[in-house]
Amino acid sequence: MFKIAICDDVISTTTEIETLLSLIANVKNYELDIDIFFDGSALVKQIAAGSIYDIIYLDIEMNELDGIKAAQYIRSLRLPSLLIYISAYDSYCKQLFEVEPFRFLSKPINTALFNKYFLAACNRLETKILFFPFSFKQRIYKVCIADIIYFESKGRYIIIHTSKQDYRYIDKIRNVEDFCLKHDLNFLRIQQSYLVNPYYISNLCLSEVTLCDDVTLPISTKYQKTVLQHYLTLAEDL
């Protein structure tokens, strides 16, 4: 089940979004729990009371508390909600960047784009709840897929580089790649020793990739063409 909040001070917009979500849910067999708010202050109060939303559709300009201030509050709690802004205005780029929006939709809503962004959000959420399991010294561990920046093969070991810390265990990179393929995880093989999470790529050229933690990794000649093709295919949904 995906828990979704729709926050917009225009009733026709909240009704349209709810209808579009219901249509997609029926086709994809998704179970949705939808709450509707007509101002950012009402959304913030509900979150303060303990509600956590997977996806929040958020208007920017509202009377009591605008969408950017509501988002700042949400981010201050370190909640992982995906924020999809819906607005008739596109002059808020700097402010939006600071609250890490997932997508931006202009009014009037383009149905095809709305559907595409919602499915991309669902894909991101499904990836977040997956864990990568491994064993080391007779203990079983698991790491959240969403936290993994890249896998590195070093000697007999696989090093899992995450946003929080690194882990090490004995295995082959091919087994890691097989796991990713089996679970439809779009990690990119850029070299014999590296599998990279495309969500953490900040810059990509033919010969190297730079990740959001400022680590730069080389792309071997063997993988250059396929990495670029796969990344361009994935980029629309990142």
Residue 24 in contact with residue 73, Cβ under 8 Å?
no
Q: What are the angstrom distances between the C-alpha of 97 and each of 47, 59, 72, 109, 123?
A: 22, 15, 11, 21, 22
| Tokens 């561990």, residue located | 141
Q: Poorest-confidence range of 16-20, 35-39, 127-131?
A: 127-131
What would the CATH number be for the domain defined by 131-235?
2.40.50.1020
First-to-last alpha carbon distance for the chain, in angstroms, is 22
| Pairwise CA distance, residues 24 & 202, whole Å | 31
Q: What is the pLDDT of residues 7-19, one digit of tens each?
A: 999 999 999 999 9
| Fold topology of 2-128 | Rossmann fold (3.40.50)
Q: What is the pLDDT of residues 37-91, one digit of tens each?
A: 999 999 999 998 888 899 999 988 777 787 788 888 888 887 778 999 887 655 4
Q: What are the angstrom distances between the C-alpha of 81 and each of 125, 156, 220, 235?
A: 9, 38, 36, 20
Q: What is the pLDDT of residues 176-222, one digit of tens each?
A: 999 998 887 889 999 999 999 988 888 888 899 998 778 999 999 99
Per DSSP, the three-state class of 184 is coil
Q: Is the pTM of this model over 0.75?
A: no
> Hey, where are the domains in the chain?
2-128, 131-235
- Portion of the chain with pLDDT greater than 90, in percent: 51
